[in-house]
Amino acid sequence: MANEHINEVIEREYTPGFTTNIESDTLPPGLDESVIRTISARKEEPQWLLEWRLDAYRRWLEMTPPEWAQVKYPPIDHNAISYFSMPKSMADKPKSLDEVDPELLATYEKLGIPLHEQAMLAGVAVDAVFDSVSVATTFRENLAEAGVIFCSISEAAREYPELVKQYLGSVVPKTDNYYAALNSAVYSDGSFVYIPKGVRCPMELSTYFRINESNTGQFERTLIIAAEGSHVSYLEGCTAPMRDENQLHAAVVELIALDDAEIKYSTVQNWYPGDAEGKGGIYNFVTKRGVAHHRAKISWTQVETGSAVTWKYPSCVLKGDDSIGEFYSVALTHNHQQADTGTKMIHLGRNTKSTIISKGISAGQSSNAYRGLVRMSPRAVGARNYTQCDSLLIGDRCAAHTFPYIESKQPTAVIEHEATTSKVSDDQLYLCQQRGIDPEKAVSMIVNGFCKEVFKELPMEFAMEAGKLLEVSLEGSVG
């Protein structure tokens, strides 16, 4: 009797689920070398980059998809996907926002991301990526004054080839894993950030990824380089229309924090999660990794509420002495969503420190797994890790799993791991209701309380956003 009350499942409303009707220039489905050559040619890439892509493709052909994750999905037919799609109006490479198709601007407006600078959130520069291309990057001039480069990665390959050549694939090698190899072969667009030595980036940088076209994949690639002593905070957001078929999103993000630099990378991921029966939704297979040099700090914060299947482990390689890695995560799964997410903290340098705070929330019939690796190398004298891993269950048909891997080859290293599993109980809801609070509000209050430690790590404007997102995602999770 009791659980019926909590369990009456979810008709979540996915507000970003609309489709933009624009003419798109989309490659026919299928993947072979000619497709890669076409993508590279469209982007007017240097020859070395084409070679790099082709090499990744050839190696990918010999690789197999990972099967160790706690997720189930039918095999993906990579020849049924189109690897490049862009709005036709983008073919002429609009020079400014005034030349961008109003339909595209309206799409972002509707998503709450106005691209006209005067309408934007003060202090946030946005790169808007629509299917395979970057539509616009705002505030570029202001940033340029500080010496900050913020542009699409396609543009960076043309304008700043030395930087791209030096760092692309330096953190996530193209053969790192199956999806990273695929991304290296076919990546379409994404953001490029370079913060020069000693510069504190004057505004938040953010990229908004939108998948629109059906039967396409999105393979974005982000590269952020923070030179010595610099500082940057970057945020990405993601949405897609509601479609019955599953769509693949396989991204790679590489962060390089040179000596004394700091990168804070926040994600609010709300890809279409599929419907209440588990039909449709995005497969979110993402490789994110950063290298921290001496005294540098890399901090990942993620709020994951979307996608049908999530496979994602934002990681830190703490290469330099005294470097710091952080991972703060809220992963919410509902209906039939599956998530296998966590982090890797690889301690190479001395006195390196890492903190992992993971909050998993499972509702409906979903499955939510935390998978994390903490590795102390022989050189990591005095290294420390603290991990806290909490799971919250809503209802009695969902699952939470925790897979911590701890490897220490350094006797002075200290590793702490704490884990809890709790449930939103009928008694808690009853207490709230007896005080006049309706059950949906009660669940969202309880879940927000559970996530507090992570939300306080988000840039302020987005912490509110994230709280609201959880509220929407849990709509109807109680009856």
Partner 1 sequence: MLSIKELRASVEEKTILQGLSLNIAPGEVHAIMGPNGAGKSTLGHVLAGRPGYEVLSGSVAFEDQDLLAMETEERAQAGLFLAFQYPVEIPGVSNMEFLKASVDAVRDSNNLEPLDSVTFMKRAREACKAVNLSIDFLKRGVNEGFSGGEKKRNELMQMMLLEPKLCILDETDSGLDIDALQVVAAGVNAMRSADRSFIVVTHYQRLLDYIQPDFVHVLAGGKIVRSGGKELALELESKGYAWLDGAA
Which residues here bind partner 1, judged by CB under 8 A?
1-2, 5, 422, 425-439, 441, 445-446, 448-452
Q: How far is the CB of 2 from partner 1 (least distance, A)?
A: 6
Q: How far is the CB of 440 from partner 1 (least distance, A)?
A: 10
Smaller CB separation from partner 1, 51 or 438: 438
Q: How far is the CB of 430 from partner 1 (least distance, A)?
A: 6
Phi, psi dihedral angles at 398 (to 5 degrees): -100, 170
Smaller CB separation from partner 1, 265 or 455: 455
Chain Cα centroid distance, residue 334: 18
Smaller CB separation from partner 1, 321 or 390: 390
Smaller CB separation from partner 1, 244 or 438: 438
Smaller CB separation from partner 1, 175 or 448: 448
Q: How far is the CB of 471 from partner 1 (least distance, A)?
A: 13
Q: How far is the CB of 448 from partner 1 (least distance, A)?
A: 8
Q: How far is the CB of 431 from partner 1 (least distance, A)?
A: 5
Smaller CB separation from partner 1, 181 or 424: 424
Tell me the DSSP string of 260-315.
T-EEEEEEEE------TTS-SEEEEEEEEEEEE-TT-EEEEEEEE---SEEEE--E
Closest among 397, 407, 391 to 364, alpha carbons compared: 397
Q: Per DSSP, which regions of 23-123 are E strands?
A: 24-26, 85-87
As beta bridge partners, residue 391 has 360, 421
Contact 72, 194 (CB under 8 A): no
Which structure tokens are listed for 166?
A: 């030096």
Phi, psi dihedral angles at 129 (to 5 degrees): -110, 120
Q: How far is the CB of 216 from partner 1 (least distance, A)?
A: 40
Q: How far is the CB of 425 from partner 1 (least distance, A)?
A: 7
Smaller CB separation from partner 1, 28 or 436: 436
What are the angstrom distances between the C-alpha of 260 and each of 13, 57, 194, 348, 382?
Answer: 44, 36, 15, 16, 19
| Residue 269: CB atoms within 10 Å | 24
Residue 428: strand, helix, or coil: helix
- How far apart CA 135 and CA 127 sit, in angstroms, is 8
Q: Can you give 373-412 as a three-state secondary structure string?
A: EEEECCCCCCCEEEEEEEEEECCCCCEEEEEEEEEECCCC
Q: How far is the CB of 442 from partner 1 (least distance, A)?
A: 8
Smaller CB separation from partner 1, 175 or 433: 433
Q: Which helix (H) or strand (E) holds 422?
A: strand 414-423
Please report, in angstroms and rounded to a whole number, the separation of the first and last CA atoms in the chain: 12
- How far apart CA 113 and CA 106 sit, in angstroms, is 9
Smaller CB separation from partner 1, 63 or 445: 445
